[in-house]
């Protein structure tokens, strides 16, 4: 049986729109809303939110097979305002360990707690070449030396506070989305690409008038980048959980941007042998280009569920993402391979 067709134009548009919605962990509500609105057009899905704010979509199929689940996350790296400096600039506290060198000179938004959005950019505190000369490149890129310059007239803490900015306000970094020759380049393809894969698979099945082989829960999580995203929210009757998250691309890794990857082991240990083998058999049966790989500096939402006591068979698949947690890039080949793998899984019993 061949897999239903993927609407790649729709996939790309949905992904680009999602990438352009700021959603640092702790402030992912607007991205969850956007995914919920998209999924609400599929009338067979029953949508709900967990108390933590994750989105769960249930596709019920009438049979006696135990249900399965897939998860991906919309939250991203980001920051909050840690301190307002005496010169009116901001110090930040990072969310999810974004590395300062990757966002130096990046545009940002401060989401002031009273509702206003204030524009600015991230700079080192020795930014001007004409003032600091070579010292600027030697300054350590760390919490102490990186600051936000607001696009507002302020040179004091008082003036910055008068803009409505408070300690703890959320800060997002511009995604810089660009689609070129089959590549999609953007921050935070981790893990919005995989949310788009799941949505594309649901659309593809619906368009083809097909249903999954058994009841499925789709869990769109909102706290992954800090480690506990999908720890709760998957019901105990679920037998298998497939985490869909980026594959690691770079020196020493088997993954690349043109394949999907099955992760056998990451920083949290090995995944489930039986479900891994099921995923391999499905990939081979449907000629889905895939690699197997091991990720060193990596943990997943599926492991968060395991750590919280979840009793499921667990696997991790996803498209290769170059320069992850930096200026990321994916290719349509790896993205389509991932959607097809999800489709193959959904149609298998
Ligand atoms: Zn991720």
Q: What is the predicted pLDDT for the residue at 122? A: 98
Nearest to 188 by CA among 11, 32, 329: 329
pLDDT at 211 over 90: yes
Taking the centre of ligand 1 as the mean of its atom positions, its distance from the CA of residue 225, in whole angstroms, is 7
pLDDT at 1 over 90: no
What is the spatial distance between Cα 169 and Cα 93, in angstroms, rounded to a whole number? 10
Q: What is the predicted pLDDT for the residue at 53? A: 98
Reading the block at residue 209, the tokens are 């008038």
Taking the centre of ligand 1 as the mean of its atom positions, its distance from the CA of residue 45, in whole angstroms, is 24
Taking the centre of ligand 1 as the mean of its atom positions, its distance from the CA of residue 237, in whole angstroms, is 25
Taking the centre of ligand 1 as the mean of its atom positions, its distance from the CA of residue 44, in whole angstroms, is 28
Q: What is the mean pLDDT of residues 322-343?
A: 98
CA gyration radius, the chain:
21
Give the confidence band of 113 by pLDDT, cuts at 50, 70, 90: confident
DSSP output for 80-132: EEEEE-TTS-EEEEEETT--GGGTTT-EEEEE-TTS-EEEEEEEETT--HHHH
Question: Any catalytic annotation for residue 36?
Answer: no
Give per-residue pLDDT as tens, 233-271: 999 999 999 999 999 999 999 999 999 999 999 999 999
What is the spatial distance between Cα 233 and Cα 26, in angstroms, rounded to a whole number? 17
Give per-residue pLDDT as tens, 127-145: 999 999 999 999 999 999 9
Taken in order 314, 318, 321, 325, is the CA torsion positive or negative? negative
Q: Is the peptide bond before 239 cis (omega within 30 degrees of 0)?
A: no
Taken in order 263, 269, 270, 275, is the CA torsion positive or negative? negative
Q: What is the pTM of this model?
A: 0.97
Residue 62's contacts (CB-CB under 8 Å, 6 or more residues apart) are none
Give per-residue pLDDT as tens, 143-194: 999 999 999 999 999 999 999 999 999 999 999 999 999 999 999 999 999 9
pLDDT at 21 over 80: yes
Give the confidence band of 110 by pLDDT, cuts at 50, 70, 90: very high
Q: What is the predicted pLDDT for the residue at 36? A: 98
Taking the centre of ligand 1 as the mean of its atom positions, its distance from the CA of residue 86, in whole angstroms, is 36
Nearest to 107 by CA among 49, 52, 177, 162: 177
Taking the centre of ligand 1 as the mean of its atom positions, its distance from the CA of residue 155, in whole angstroms, is 38
Taking the centre of ligand 1 as the mean of its atom positions, its distance from the CA of residue 262, in whole angstroms, is 14
Percent of the chain with pLDDT over 70: 100
Q: What is the predicted pLDDT for the residue at 349? A: 87
Q: What is the mean pLDDT of residues 81-86?
A: 98
Among residues 106, 224, 225, 303, the one annotated as catalytic is: 224
Distances (CA, A) of 329 to 77, 101, 183, 205, 225: 16, 17, 7, 27, 18
* Average of per-residue pLDDT values in the chain: 97
Taking the centre of ligand 1 as the mean of its atom positions, its distance from the CA of residue 20, in whole angstroms, is 17
């Amino acid at each position: 049986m061949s897999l239903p067709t993927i609407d790649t134009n729709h996939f790309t548009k949905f992904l680009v729109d999602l990438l352009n919605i700021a959603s640092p962990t702790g402030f992912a509500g607007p991205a969850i809303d956007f995914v919920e609105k998209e999924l609400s057009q599929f009338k067979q899905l029953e949508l709900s939110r967990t108390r933590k704010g994750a989105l769960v979509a249930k596709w019920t199929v009438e049979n006696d097979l135990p249900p399965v689940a897939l998860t991906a996350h919309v939250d991203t790296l980001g920051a909050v305002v840690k301190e307002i400096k005496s010169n009116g600039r901001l110090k930040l506290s990072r969310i999810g360990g974004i590395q300062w060198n990757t966002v130096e000179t990046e545009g940002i938004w401060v989401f002031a707690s009273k509702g206003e959005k204030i524009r600015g950019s991230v700079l080192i505190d020795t930014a001007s070449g004409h003032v600091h000369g070579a010292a600027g490149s030697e300054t350590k890129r760390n919490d102490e030396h990186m600051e936000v310059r607001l696009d507002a007239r302020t040179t004091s803490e008082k003036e910055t506070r008068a803009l409505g900015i408070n300690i703890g306000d959320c800060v997002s970094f511009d995604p810089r989305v660009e689609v070129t020759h089959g590549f999609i380049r953007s921050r935070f393809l981790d893990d919005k690409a995989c949310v788009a894969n799941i949505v594309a698979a649901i659309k593809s099945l619906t368009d083809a008038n097909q249903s999954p082989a058994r009841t499925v829960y789709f869990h769109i999580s909102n706290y992954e980048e800090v480690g506990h995203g999908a720890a709760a929210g998957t019901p105990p009757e679920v037998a298998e959980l497939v985490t869909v998250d980026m594959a690691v691309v770079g020196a020493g890794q088997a993954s690349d941007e043109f394949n999907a990857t099955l992760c056998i082991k990451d920083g949290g240990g090995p995944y489930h042998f039986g479900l891994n083998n099921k995923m391999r058999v499905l990939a081979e049966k449907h000629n889905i280009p895939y690699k197997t790989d091991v990720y060193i500096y990596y943990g997943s939402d599926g492991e968060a569920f395991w750590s919280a006591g979840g009793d499921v068979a667990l696997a991790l698949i996803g498209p290769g993402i170059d320069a992850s947690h930096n200026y990321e890039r994916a290719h349509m080949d790896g993205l389509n391979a991932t959607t097809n793998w999800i489709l193959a899984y959904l149609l298998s019993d």
